[in-house]
Structure 1
Amino acid sequence: MDRATPSRWPALLVLCAGSLMIILDGSVVSVALPAVQRDLGFTAAGLAWVVNAYLVAFGGLLLLAGRLGDLLGRRRVFLAGVVLFTVASVACAAAGNPALLVGARFGQGVGGALAMAVSLGMIVRLYPEPAERARAIAVYSFTGAAGASVGTVAGGVLTELAGWRSIFLVNLPIGAAILLAAVRRLPAERGVGLRAGLDVPGAVLATAGLMAAVLGIVGTGEHGWTSPRTLGAVALAALLLGGFAVRQRVASTPLLPARLLRVPGLLAANSVQFLMVAAFFGFQFLLAVELQLVLGLDAAATGWAFLPTPVVIAVVSLGLAGRLIARWGARAVLVTGLGLAAVGFLLLARLSADGSYVGDVLPAMLIFGVAGGLTLPAVTTLAMAGATDADAGLASGLANTTQQVGGAVGLATLATLAAARSDGLRDAGQAEVAALAGGYRVAYAVAAALVLAALLVALVTGPRSAAGRSGDGGPRDHSGSKRRVRLTEDVEAARVIG
């Protein structure tokens, strides 16, 4: 798209709104689960499927959805995803029994995957210049980072005032508004067409394998890591994904072309994102529980306790991250953010049973805000840096898949470690609250290790700079002409972002 096209920033806002609606829904639902259980008569085990059905569909279909965007047109797939998500939301609100609600939640996951998988691909096409792309990705990343925290507050308010069905019904006017705005503001684009090849066997293997992997991971809280159910799901996922890898070597039009995997830095960026999101996602869940069970906050206060993080993320990602990436490169910004995140986790790893929110938790929350505001736009920029128009949707789907699977693995791992440590401390005679606090400290220490591992991967596997390039999406200033090009990009980006 021509850089003088005036519709780029309204189009970005539409994509951000779609992302926000989908991400908000996940955290809103988690707050309403007790009310859903009372009303529809879910068992304790069955209630988990209100969340798991969505995660299985969403995580399993992202890669295929991204490829469909490249073939059919990303705008078309985004519109289909918003429609399906909105219709499924209404079905959730109307559900009269557990089976209908779980089925409708699966439908929401399918719609969410279609919409989310192609969003980054459209941003890459809308913003081909490195400076403006960095700022656009920073805005998009902020909506994702802030959505979960905002959803915790919104879910509590809506459930309290209008009942749990309202958290799904509110998606009807929001989805309709996004759909109308998308038709008007998102640029029409033609995909390369199904004749370019949709690897159907590969798509089936990849989707089934990812669904089996997510199914096994999300079930560890109920069944444990060594249960036959978990081990069977993991073995099935390994078999299916192994078959997918073999299929990609022989398919004439593979779902995941080898040329995409050869893009400099793509695998490294996705590896960093996997480790980083595993730490961040698990921390959000565990800290929300600890604030209530250990520090004694109620549900509403817990929601507000997370608010400093998205506020700081907004300041950093919207005001600084894009400019820092354009000036110093995404890799340098990513490494800085990961270092700060490790400090935040180590601070939480010192939180005792008699700690306080202001003195012990708030400093870490503020640090996480800065770290998230830097790392999320930077790692997304690196993951999409080498994507071409033909593969931008697939690269977007791959980045989102890494994020979702990383989050599921992180939550399951950290929650299991925390529970095991707490059980050991109880058996040793410690009081309940002290045992819980000890378990959470172990989880935060492991989260710090995950972030440090991500930092190491970023340092060791970062792309080498080529002549006139920084290796991470930002042009080097090796000559006066390049400096003038860089200055022009920065001034133009600053003018557009305001």
Structure 2
Amino acid sequence: MRDKKVETANGSSPAHHPPAGSTNQTLALAAMMFAVAMTFIDQTIVAIAAPDITDELGLTASGMRWVVNAYVLALAACFALGGRLSDIHGHRRVMLIGTLVFVVSSVLCGCVPAGGFAQAWMIIFRITQGVGAALLFPAALAVVVAVFPVERRGRALALFFGFSGGLTAIGPLLGGWLTAWTWRAIFWVNVPVAVVALILTALARIPNTGRRERLDLPGAVLVALGMGLSVLGLQQASEWGWGSAATWGCIIAGLAVLVAFCRYELRVPEQPLINLKVFRDRAFRADTAVLFFGMLAFVPLFFFASVYAQVSLRKSPNEAALYLLWFFLGFVLASQLGGRMLDQRGARLPMLLGSALGAAGFALWAAKLTDLSVGAQWPYVVLAGAGIGFLLAPASTDSVNRAIGASYGEVTGITQTTRNYAAAVGLAVYGTVLSHVTVDKVTATLEERGVPPEMAGKAARGISQSVAGHGSGRVPGEDGAAAFALEEAQQAVRMDFAEANQWVFYGMALALAIGFLCALAHPGTRVTAGSPPAGDGRG
């Protein structure tokens, strides 16, 4: 493959497409998809096995939440660092290191001994899993970007994001099946996936093109601390409460550290952790904003739709996963169309189309939640999935194409940090809304049916805690009082929970509507190979 210049729309020096030599593009893409498969499956698979893990290891409810959240927390805190390490030491090398860290951590999670140290063991190795994913994902994405020329990159990344995003739906299905054997298998399943990824990587002959540059360690510490504190506050808000000083202390301190990080990066004379000059590009700013608002709907959807299906539709965990497959039917089909549109016309059109379809789909889906019927909802579920599918790959690909000096790992770190941060915000805000509305509605319903106020409140809080329990489908505290209350008004409670979820889904529709406005700000310029862009994209 010949070297090609990639003209960016930010007016910087042209980025050079690294030589791929005899790299097999198909095998390279397959290898990277298998590698990131593990990270996406692990976002949802652990939640399904949470009750079994808790029972066997004797974990507290708070401890189990930490087992689930530790992974996302470490992932968000270390993503920017992972992207920069990928640029410095080579995308292939860092991808291999990240894969090994991830899979070894997975094996150790599955080998946790019972006893008093079990909770600490699980949390520690879930954190190292997150660190491995933070190394693996930006490096894998950078490999795909480097191997494929810009004129074919849209379709390649549409397949990459479509496949990896679809795997998030496989997590609950796979988790339910494996947990029937042993919950430990949900971690061990990463081993054969990693072996396939490593073999394909070797066969693909992917070059390792690192750049000898300094690593901005102070910047790495600041961004990890800022992301970690702010995400911690958002994740723990459901437990600590939004009125807690600890909640706001973490969020405000985290944001303050992130501001300090930005100020520091602007003063670094050379090789900052993140070159903030990329934000001078108006198109990059629009891409990043669309990703943020799109992820406010996309990632939290798996959790809230799964809980809704189990509580209101009375589905099993596996049936709830099948319910989500309607979403991914639209998502996968639209991802491929969105990638083609990106290659032919640029990112603006698919982002506008995707955010508009997504806003309409989520709004119509929300209106149908109280029908308590999959048959009444599936067309709108497909429409919502198509909206996310249209915008995700074009926004991600266009932002990476605008990297300064071919720093694909660095820009991937920015975009993926944005996605993870948006996911944490969505889970925290929507979870708080759902919890409060559910408690109020269920309490009122049970009291109207003659259930004593204390018993009604306890049953209502039990249902809301199933949300904080990450979709396990079990209502904590199902003692005699709660069971009696639920049995007395089961149908009404299902409807109350559906009505509470409408607030969440309308919130997702609103997020995508804001994303549409952000997409309008995109100048419509394209990143092309060997020719100047339509405009410089500066805002």
TM-superposed CA distance for 1:474, in Å, is 6.2
- AA paired with 1:445? Y
Q: Report the CA distance shift for 1:129/1:107 in structure 2 as closer, same or farther (over 3 A).
A: same
The equivalent residue for 1:248 is 265
TM-superposed CA distance for 1:168, in Å, is 0.8
TM-superposed CA distance for 1:462, in Å, is 0.6
Alignment of 1:102-141 (within 5 A): 102-130=123-151, 132-141=152-161
Find the aligned partners of 2:445 and 2:50 in 1 and give their Cα distance.
Answer: 33
Counterpart among 60, 66, 85 of residue 43 in structure 1: 60
Gaps of 5+ in 1: 464-469, 483-498
Contact 2:95 2:139 in 1 (8 A): yes
Alignment of 1:340-355 (within 5 A): 340-355=357-372
Find the aligned partners of 1:220 and 1:305 in 2 and give their Cα distance.
Answer: 28
Find the aligned partners of 1:445 and 1:312 in 2 and give their Cα distance.
Answer: 19
TM-superposed CA distance for 1:372, in Å, is 2.7
Gaps of 5+ in 2: 4-20, 447-491, 535-539
Contact 2:234 2:425 in 1 (8 A): yes
Find the aligned partners of 1:134 and 1:354 in 2 and give their Cα distance.
Answer: 39
Alignment of 1:50-449 (within 5 A): 50-96=67-113, 97-130=118-151, 132-160=152-180, 162-193=181-212, 196-253=213-270, 254-318=272-336, 320-359=337-376, 361-388=377-404, 390-426=406-442, 428-429=444-445, 431-449=492-510
- AA paired with 1:142? G
Find the aligned partners of 2:255 and 2:381 in 1 and give their Cα distance.
Answer: 37
Contact 1:145 1:372 in 2 (8 A): no
Find the aligned partners of 2:29 and 2:157 in 1 and give their Cα distance.
Answer: 9
Q: Report the CA distance shift for 1:157/1:256 in structure 2 as closer, same or farther (over 3 A).
A: same
The equivalent residue for 1:452 is 513
Contact 1:23 1:148 in 2 (8 A): yes
Provide, for residues 217-255 of structure 1, a one-character-per-residue CA deviation record: whole Å limited to 9, x for no partner.
111121122212211111220222122122112222321
Provide, for residues 248-277 of structure 1, a one-character-per-residue CA deviation record: whole Å limited to 9, x for no partner.
122223211233222341122111111111
Provide, for residues 424-480 of structure 1, a one-character-per-residue CA deviation record: whole Å limited to 9, x for no partner.
334554742332122111111111111000100110x212xxxxxx503369x99xx
Q: Report the CA distance shift for 1:186/1:399 in structure 2 as closer, same or farther (over 3 A).
A: farther
TM-superposed CA distance for 1:118, in Å, is 1.9
Q: Report the CA distance shift for 1:418/1:186 in structure 2 as closer, same or farther (over 3 A).
A: farther
TM-superposed CA distance for 1:5, in Å, is 4.9
Find the aligned partners of 1:263 and 1:124 in 2 and give their Cα distance.
Answer: 19
What TM-score does the superposition give when structure 1 sets the normalisation length? 0.89
What TM-score does the superposition give when structure 2 sets the normalisation length? 0.82
Farther-moved stretch of structure 1 (367-376 vs 41-50): 367-376
Find the aligned partners of 1:91 and 1:454 in 2 and give their Cα distance.
Answer: 40
Find the aligned partners of 1:355 and 1:88 in 2 and give their Cα distance.
Answer: 40
TM-superposed CA distance for 1:2, in Å, is 3.2
The equivalent residue for 2:479 is none
Find the aligned partners of 2:332 and 2:293 in 1 and give their Cα distance.
Answer: 23
Provide, for residues 114-173 of structure 1, a one-character-per-residue CA deviation record: whole Å limited to 9, x for no partner.
00022222222112323x11101101111222011011111100111x200111111122
Find the aligned partners of 1:168 and 1:381 in 2 and give their Cα distance.
Answer: 30
The equivalent residue for 2:472 is none
Contact 2:355 2:387 in 1 (8 A): yes
The equivalent residue for 2:29 is 12
Give the secondary-structure state (helix, strand or coil) at the position aligned to 1:265.
helix
Give the secondary-structure state (helix, strand or coil) at the position aligned to 1:26.
coil
Provide, for residues 34-83 of structure 1, a one-character-per-residue CA deviation record: whole Å limited to 9, x for no partner.
11001101111110011111111111100011011111111111110000
Contact 1:156 1:300 in 2 (8 A): yes
Find the aligned partners of 1:120 and 1:174 in 2 and give their Cα distance.
Answer: 17
The equivalent residue for 1:2 is 2
Give the secondary-structure state (helix, strand or coil) at the position aligned to 1:349.
helix
Q: How many residues align?
A: 465
- AA paired with 2:426? G
Find the aligned partners of 2:40 and 2:512 in 1 and give their Cα distance.
Answer: 23
Provide, for residues 337-382 of structure 1, a one-character-per-residue CA deviation record: whole Å limited to 9, x for no partner.
11111111111221354431111x2112211232232111111122
Contact 1:282 1:415 in 2 (8 A): no
TM-superposed CA distance for 1:29, in Å, is 1.1
- AA paired with 2:408? A
Farther-moved stretch of structure 1 (385-394 vs 225-234): 385-394
Provide, for residues 286-322 of structure 1, a one-character-per-residue CA deviation record: whole Å limited to 9, x for no partner.
111111111222222111111122233333323x232
Find the aligned partners of 2:368 and 2:335 in 1 and give their Cα distance.
Answer: 28
- AA paired with 2:285? L
Contact 2:345 2:526 in 1 (8 A): no
Moved over 3 A (4+): 1-6, 426-431, 472-475
Find the aligned partners of 1:354 and 1:243 in 2 and give their Cα distance.
Answer: 49
Find the aligned partners of 2:210 and 2:349 in 1 and give their Cα distance.
Answer: 34
Aligned identity (percent) is 30
The equivalent residue for 1:462 is 522
Find the aligned partners of 1:328 and 1:63 in 2 and give their Cα distance.
Answer: 30
TM-superposed CA distance for 1:204, in Å, is 0.6
Give the secondary-structure state (helix, strand or coil) at the position aligned to 1:189.
coil
RMSD: 2.1
